[in-house]
Amino acid sequence: MSEEVRLMKGNEAIAHAAIRYGCDGYFGYPITPQSEVLETLEELMPWETTGMVVLQAESEVAAINMVYGGAASGKAVMTSSSSPGVSLKQEGISYIAAASLPALILNVMRGGPGLGTIQPSQADYFQAVKGGGHGDYHLIVLAPSTVQEMVDFVGLGFDLAFKYCNPAMILADGIVGQMMEKVVLPEQRPRRTDEEVRQQCPWAANGRKDGRKRNIVTSLELESSRMEVINHELQARYREIEKNETRWEEIGVEDADYLLIAFGSIARICAKAQEMAAEKGVKVGIVRPITLWPFPTEAIAKAAEGKKGILVVELNAGQMIEDVRLAVHDRLPVEHFGRMGGIIPSPDEVLEALENKIINR
């Protein structure tokens, strides 16, 4: 068996996965609760094995611009941070999206706003899926609920980023970053050779050879008519991503009277609340959006058919609930339950909220 079962934190798993998936470069700056990503990479010293570059930049802004540069040359590059650090990266993220470059960004969310707290949160949903930086752009946003998904989404994130020439984000929270769980690491995927990069990324600014035309990577276009065309091209690509890449998980939806909708590790707290509800004879189903953008709008509309109500559970004041409401319109009651500032709700609290806000409303 070539599979390797290990026990590790979500953040450590990201570092191992980056190496295993043949990442060319990581550029980051430490911040709790994701500092183990950089720490683990430094410990594993992949520059001596796969040749992957690991660099602690002088700031978050520097790190995202190193990613911009690496991505422009066709390399598989990534950065990671937590909420305040990801805010600093937004300008660079908008540039990378506008320049149609593949890159992977990890946000292990902590409580905000401002410097906030180091405890888990999901309050960067709006930032991740509605823009964050300026202009009409989208990131492909993946929300892991297990340490295994932290591993898998590094591979999926890079694959989707390169398939669509679009930055992808893993939107994790402090829970899945800090908890340890069983993981199976993938087999080592070799880093692409220069020749492979040239074949797969004909747009890359990696040196003219064989008389090919000059490649220019930029997000600037002063000719408005041309800039509108670029925007149309981006939008066409977003429609394509929406069509092909929407992902979600459903647990016990079919027989359920009520739905809990949650993403990331909070969906697991909801799954426990679902078990507890079943013991009381209350049938609850769960829909867990895996891609937060593209959002599983149709899947949620379909899952909501014939249900009596929906409780959206998030570690924020109510962000994803807006997309859930857009999906189901006002066909059934949709309420929100959230804790903020780094507080994690227990399964008991979730069940109580479901009873108070939906079942006995």
Partner 1 sequence: MKEEIIIAGFGGQGVLSMGKILAYSGLMDDKEVTWMPSYGPEQRGGTANVTVILSDDKISSPVLDRYDVVIALNQQSLDKFAPKVKEGGMLIYDTNGIHKHPVREDIKIYPINAMEATLELGNSKAYNMVVMGALLEAMEYKLPMENVIKGLKKSLPERHHKLIPLNQQAIEKGRTLL
Where on the chain is the footprint of partner 1 (CB under 8 A)? 5, 7, 32-33, 117-119, 175, 178-182, 265, 268-269, 271-275, 342, 344, 346-349
- Return the number of the residue (140 or 273) whose C-beta is nearest partner 1: 273
In the complex, the smallest distance separating the C-beta of residue 46 from partner 1, rounded to whole angstroms, is 20
In the complex, the smallest distance separating the C-beta of residue 182 from partner 1, rounded to whole angstroms, is 6
Nearest to 25 by CA among 89, 78, 61, 96: 78
- Return the number of the residue (262 or 324) whose C-beta is nearest partner 1: 262
- What is the CB neighbour count within 10 angstroms for residue 58? 9
In the complex, the smallest distance separating the C-beta of residue 288 from partner 1, rounded to whole angstroms, is 11
Tokens of 92: 């660079």
Tokens of 9: 């934190």
d(CA 158, CA 90): 19
- Return the number of the residue (269 or 320) whose C-beta is nearest partner 1: 269
Cis peptide before 102 (omega within 30 of 0): no
- Return the number of the residue (7 or 45) whose C-beta is nearest partner 1: 7
CA torsion, points 313, 316, 317, 318, in degrees to nearest 10?
-50
Q: Kindly give, in sequence order, each residue whose CB lies less than 8 Å from that of residue 75, ignoring residues fewer than 6 positions away.
A: 24, 25, 197
In the complex, the smallest distance separating the C-beta of residue 85 from partner 1, rounded to whole angstroms, is 17
- Return the number of the residue (81 or 100) whose C-beta is nearest partner 1: 81
* CA-derived radius of gyration, the chain: 21
Terminal-to-terminal C-alpha distance of the chain? 53
In the complex, the smallest distance separating the C-beta of residue 32 from partner 1, rounded to whole angstroms, is 8
